[in-house]
Structure 1
Amino acid sequence: MAQALGAAKAPVAARAKPYAKAGTRAETRAETRPAAVPAERAEAPAIVCNRRRAQFLRDLNEAKELRDRVQPRRARAARMRQAMRMRTFRW
């Protein structure tokens, strides 16, 4: 009886997956990628990267200022530690 149940069940690889897409990720990426990128568009990723970095740094500074406003004791302690580091630093 165990053989009859095992024989009736299809192997995992043979089962159809209705949600699976045709082709692999690498194939679909290769199909959508342009053949050659013009020189003026080659600089675009660097510009986008710099813009994202600048936005991130602005958000980071804003978050630090907000933290200093809502936690004044911790901010004062951090300022005191920074001042001590500056006083004890030797050139």
Structure 2
Amino acid sequence: MPDLPENRSETPEDTAGRQRVSPPETDAERRRRRARFLRELAEARELRDRVQPRRAKVARLRHAMRMRTFRW
């Protein structure tokens, strides 16, 4: 096995002891990040429903049954 070069970048062992210092996240940034996550999650669900229509139908029926039996 060849030796690793001496001038390599930091390894995980080098950075394990140090914490990356970043400015605190603002509420607006957190909301933007959350909105992007929820959009991507909805997109993934739509894709799954398109490629697995039987599973999507069963999920819809289960949800409808759950809503019918839910007590307010």
Q: TM-score, normalised by structure 2?
A: 0.66
Which of 36, 47, 51 is residue 66 of structure 1 equivalent to? Answer: 47
What SS class does the counterpart of residue 28 from structure 2 fall into? helix
Aligned to 2:27: 46
Write the letter of the residue equivalent to 1:68: D
- Distance apart, 1:25 and its partner CA: 3.0
Could you list the per-position Cα deviations for residues 53-80 of structure 1 after superposition, in whole angstroms to 9, with x for gaps in the alignment?
A: 0000000000000100000000000000
1:81 aligns with 2:62: yes
Which of 1 and 2 has higher RCO (CA within 8 Å, sep 6+)?
2
The unaligned stretches of length 5 or more in structure 2 are 1-6
Report percent identity of matched pairs: 58
Equivalent residues, number: 60
Q: Distance in 2 between matches of 1:83 and 1:25?
A: 51
Q: Which runs of structure 1 show a deviation greater than 4 angstroms over 4 or more consecutive aligned residues?
A: 18-21
Structure (1 or 2) with the larger CA radius of gyration: 1
What's the TM-score once normalised by structure 1's chain length? 0.53
